[in-house]
Amino acid sequence: MMGKIGPIGRKGAVCDCGKYRKVVGQLDINVARLKSSISFVKNVLAGIRETEEKYYYIVQEEKSYKEALTHCRIRDGILAMPKDEAANTVISDYISQSGLFRVFIGVNDMEKEGQFMYADRTPLQSYSNWKEGEPQDLSGQEDCVEMLSTGKWNDTECHLTMYFVCEFPKRRE
C-alpha cells in the first residue's frame, strides 16, 4: 500500500556540466602523471646504484639532452654529474653492467663554446675524463656530453636521443 503523495518540490537548476568536464579532464591528466611516476618508481626499484651521497638511475628511454634534463628535474633529480673518479666509476660500471654503450650525463658547453659546465651550472673543476682527442666539436654542434661504457666522456650533439643517467641526492634526516 502506498502512502500519500507529497507536495511538488522546487524546480531543479540547469546542470553546469562544463566545470565538471574540466575537473574530470584534470583528474585524467593527474592519473596519467601518476601512472608515469609509478612506472618510473618500478624501474628505479629494478636497478639503482648509489654512493655515500647520491643515487644514480639509468633511464632507458631515448630522449634528447634537454628532454633528459627535464625528465630528471621533474623527479627532483638532475642529469648525473660525475665530479670525481669514484662517481665516474660507479656510473660507468652501471652503464657497462646494463649492457649499454653510451648515455647522456649532466655536462655541456651550451652557454659558451669550450667552457663545459655541469647541469647544476657549476664549471668543471679538477675532474674530467675525456676520451683521447676529446672534446673536439668538429661540426660546431657537439655541445652535450655522453659517457661511454668505458667511463670516458665524449662531446656529442644535443638533439640526438639516447638513454641517460639521473642523479638524486640522498636525503639526510
Which pLDDT value is given to residue 154?
A: 94
Determine the residue type at 125.
Answer: Q
d(CA 67, CA 69) in angstroms, rounded, equals 5
CB 55 within 8 A of CB 48: yes
Give CA separation, 92 vs 15, 20, 27, 96, in Å: 60, 50, 40, 6
Q: Does pLDDT of 149 surpass 80?
A: yes
Q: Does pLDDT of 87 surpass 70?
A: yes
Which pLDDT value is given to residue 173?
A: 53
d(CA 163, CA 62) in angstroms, rounded, equals 5
d(CA 104, CA 126) in angstroms, rounded, equals 21
Which pLDDT value is given to residue 21?
A: 78
Q: Cell triple for residue 48? A: 639503482
The model's pLDDT over 24-83, given as tens digits with 9 standing for 90+, comes to 888 888 888 887 776 666 555 557 787 888 989 999 899 999 999 999 999 999 999 999
Which pLDDT value is given to residue 138?
A: 73
What is the band of 172 on the pLDDT scale with cuts at 50, 70, 90? low
CB 109 within 8 A of CB 66: no
Nearest to 155 by CA among 104, 121, 118: 104
Return the number of other C-beta atoms located less than 10 Å from residue 53's C-beta: 11
The model's pLDDT over 66-81, given as tens digits with 9 standing for 90+, comes to 999 999 999 999 999 9
Determine the residue type at 144.
Answer: C
SS3 32: helix
pTM higher than 0.85? no
The model's pLDDT over 91-143, given as tens digits with 9 standing for 90+, comes to 999 999 889 999 999 999 999 888 999 999 999 988 999 999 898 877 778 99
